[in-house]
């Protein structure tokens, strides 16, 4: 790119960035009242802009801690709000935004970045890899009968938007048990609060109380057609334990005037159908990629996660952040740089795909994304990177 400059935006420029982003998504600008509710969702010093004679591109992030296999967390950035003016696309503005963000993340010691991609081909070239997935189901509520062995769960109580603002951050923080889950900054909760207070259908928040207090919640809307059939759409369900999961489902099945419960974006291995005497009352309705992950500091990321099985040397190539390229010995003792010969060779985007356990390394080997040397390397990599639980973020940003 020529004739441009890139910098962090000032507070009085954030609304223009929001308008630009919305226009890039073909959505009209927010009104004044809505902007007052939107602005608190912008973390200061985290919105980048590219200018020529005006603002032509923007991207922002919020700080988060990302859970990795084994339960440790990484300092991370949740990237969103990426947009380039329609008359300035395909001339390197996004590339410049990514460069500026990566430089800022490096300065601040951020180890990983995640995002929800609007389109699949955009972010791989910058080293992001598709790391987590979701699936959605519809439960036929009138036919659904819980099995006798499903835990009873505790009491479920409705709370209003003010109580939700106060209580949900604490409850959510106790539920981040899966790899791929992230802490939510106050800026994220400001955005969530806005969502609770707008829209045609009322939003309901219900909290589960277990033996040790609040340990899960659901956020949902119910829409009813003129013919009278009702659909309960789950916007969020988070729980810290099996009792809360069962207790929340028991509550949802009891909500009146509902024919179907649409789960929204859930973990691919969440055993919803197994709750019911007839698993077929739960129909899988969709699935897609959830978050993309960029490992910005590969040595720190590899050192943080748990490894199982026999050691293996991985040779990583990172054309964008060259400092990450090199060989790493991975094993139960940890991860460290080495000169030993490699058993697997892969790009940093493929490393991001397998890092949280969302893909088997051997499956990526089958399609040419990872090269293995030696008869046992693929199986060893599957053991090393294997996760017992499917990674899932569960936070939209």
Ligand X SMILES: CC(=O)SCCNC(=O)CCNC(=O)[C@H](O)C(C)(C)COP(=O)(O)OP(=O)(O)OC[C@H]1O[C@@H](n2cnc3c(N)ncnc32)[C@H](O)[C@@H]1OP(=O)(O)O
Q: Does 119 participate in binding ligand X (rule CB under 6 A)? A: yes
32-71 footprint of ligand X as x/- string (CB under 6 A) = ----------------------------------------
Residues 168, 21: Cα–Cα separation, whole Å = 28
Among 30, 55, 122, 363, binds ligand X (CB under 6 A): 122
Q: Does 207 participate in binding ligand X (rule CB under 6 A)? A: no
- Which of 105, 328, 355, 397 is catalytic? The answer is 397
The CB-of-123 to ligand X minimum distance in angstroms stands at 8
Residues 240, 91: Cα–Cα separation, whole Å = 46
Among 17, 48, 68, 84, binds ligand X (CB under 6 A): 84
92 is in an annotated binding site: yes
48 is in an annotated binding site: no
Q: Does 17 participate in binding ligand X (rule CB under 6 A)? A: no
Smallest Cα–Cα separation from 80: which of 391, 292, 301?
A: 292
Q: Active site includes 397?
A: yes
Q: Does 306 participate in binding ligand X (rule CB under 6 A)? A: no
82 is in an annotated binding site: yes
Read off the tokens for 374: 């030696």
Give the CA radius of gyration of the chain.
22
Q: Does 371 participate in binding ligand X (rule CB under 6 A)? A: no
Q: Does 95 participate in binding ligand X (rule CB under 6 A)? A: yes
State the DSSP string of 175-242: T--STT-B---HHHHHHHHHHHT-SSSPEEEEEEEETTEEEEEEEEEEEE-TT--EEEEEEEEEESSH
Among 115, 246, 253, 364, binds ligand X (CB under 6 A): 115
Among 118, 277, 332, 373, binds ligand X (CB under 6 A): 118
**Own/partner long-range contacts of 383-386 (Cβ < 8 Å, ≥24 apart):** 383/308, 383/309, 383/310, 384/307, 384/308, 384/309, 384/310, 384/311, 384/312, 384/330, 384/331, 385/307, 385/354, 385/355, 385/357, 385/360, 385/361, 386/308, 386/309, 386/357, 386/360
Task: Report the DSSP pairing between strands 55-67 and 326-331.
Answer: unpaired
Task: Report the DSSP pairing between strands 312-317 and 344-347.
Answer: parallel
Helix, strand, coil percentages in the chain from 3-state DSSP, rounded to 5: 30, 30, 40
Q: Does 339 participate in binding ligand X (rule CB under 6 A)? A: no
2 is in an annotated binding site: no
Q: Does 80 participate in binding ligand X (rule CB under 6 A)? A: yes
94 is in an annotated binding site: yes
Residues 238, 174: Cα–Cα separation, whole Å = 9
Instruction: Report DSSP state, residue 276.
Output: B
Q: Does 229 participate in binding ligand X (rule CB under 6 A)? A: no
Q: Does 93 participate in binding ligand X (rule CB under 6 A)? A: yes
Residues 318, 124: Cα–Cα separation, whole Å = 12
Q: 81 or 216, CB closer to ligand X?
A: 81
The CB-of-56 to ligand X minimum distance in angstroms stands at 9
Residues 195, 364: Cα–Cα separation, whole Å = 38
Q: Does 82 participate in binding ligand X (rule CB under 6 A)? A: yes
Q: Does 79 participate in binding ligand X (rule CB under 6 A)? A: yes
**Among 11-19, 63-71, 87-95, 214-222, the segment contacting ligand X (CB under 6 A):** 87-95
| Helices and strands per DSSP (H, E), number in the chain | 10, 19
95 is in an annotated binding site: yes
Q: Active site includes 187?
A: no
**Among 80-88, 131-139, 153-161, 227-235, the segment contacting ligand X (CB under 6 A):** 80-88
Q: Does 6 participate in binding ligand X (rule CB under 6 A)? A: no
Residues 394, 179: Cα–Cα separation, whole Å = 11
Residues 56, 63: Cα–Cα separation, whole Å = 24
Positions 123 through 182 that interact with ligand X (CB under 6 A): 125
- Which of 105, 123, 128, 217 is catalytic? The answer is 123
**Among 77-85, 168-176, 344-352, 357-365, the segment contacting ligand X (CB under 6 A):** 77-85
Q: 1 or 161, CB closer to ligand X?
A: 1
The CB-of-51 to ligand X minimum distance in angstroms stands at 14
How many residues line the site for ligand X (CB under 6 A)?
23
91 is in an annotated binding site: yes
- Residues forming the active site: 123, 397
Q: Which residue ranges are tagged as binding site?
A: 82-84, 90-95, 118-119
What does the binding site for ligand X look like in residue numbers (CB under 6 A)?
A: 24-25, 79-84, 89-95, 115-119, 121-122, 125
């Amino acid at each position: 790119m020529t004739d441009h400059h890139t910098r962090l935006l000032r507070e009085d420029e954030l609304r223009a960035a929001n308008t630009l982003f919305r226009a890039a998504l073909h959505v009209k600008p927010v009104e004044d009242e809505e902007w007052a509710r939107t602005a608190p969702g912008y973390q200061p010093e985290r919105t980048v802009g590219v200018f020529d004679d005006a603002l032509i591109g923007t991207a922002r992030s919020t700080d988060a801690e990302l859970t990795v296999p084994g339960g440790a967390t990484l300092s991370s950035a949740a990237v969103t709000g990426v947009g380039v003016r329609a008359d300035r696309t395909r001339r390197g503005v996004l590339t410049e935004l990514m460069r500026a963000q990566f430089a800022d993340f490096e300065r601040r010691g951020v180890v990983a970045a995640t995002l929800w991609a609007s389109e699949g081909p955009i972010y791989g070239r910058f080293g992001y890899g598709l790391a987590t997935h979701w699936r959605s189901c519809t439960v036929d509520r009138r036919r659904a009968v819980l099995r006798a062995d499903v835990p009873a769960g505790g009491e479920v109580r409705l709370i209003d938007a003010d109580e939700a603002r106060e209580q949900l951050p604490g409850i959510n923080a106790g539920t981040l048990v899966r790899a791929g889950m992230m802490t939510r900054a106050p800026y994220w909760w400001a955005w969530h609060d806005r969502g609770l207070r707008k829209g045609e259908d009322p939003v309901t928040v219900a909290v589960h109380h277990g033996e040790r207090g609040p340990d899960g919640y659901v956020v949902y809307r119910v829409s009813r057609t003129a013919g009278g059939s009702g659909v309960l759409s789950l916007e969020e369900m988070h729980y810290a334990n099996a009792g809360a999961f069962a207790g929340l489902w028991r509550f949802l099945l009891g909500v009146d005037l509902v024919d179907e419960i649409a789960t929204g974006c859930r973990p691919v291995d969440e055993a919803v159908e197994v709750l019911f005497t007839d698993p077929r009352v739960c129909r899988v309705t969709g699935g897609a990629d959830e978050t993309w992950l960029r490992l910005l500091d590969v040595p720190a990321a590899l050192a943080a996660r748990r490894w199982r099985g026999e050691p293996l040397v991985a040779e990583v190539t990172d054309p964008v952040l060259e400092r990450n390229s090199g060989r790493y010995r991975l094993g139960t003792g940890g991860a460290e740089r080495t000169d030993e010969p490699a058993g697997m060779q892969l790009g940093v985007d493929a490393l991001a795909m397998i890092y949280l356990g969302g893909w088997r390394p051997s499956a990526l080997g089958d399609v040419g994304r990872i090269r293995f040397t030696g008869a046992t390397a693929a199986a060893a990599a599957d053991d090393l990177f294997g996760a017992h639980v499917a990674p899932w973020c569960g936070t939209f940003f």
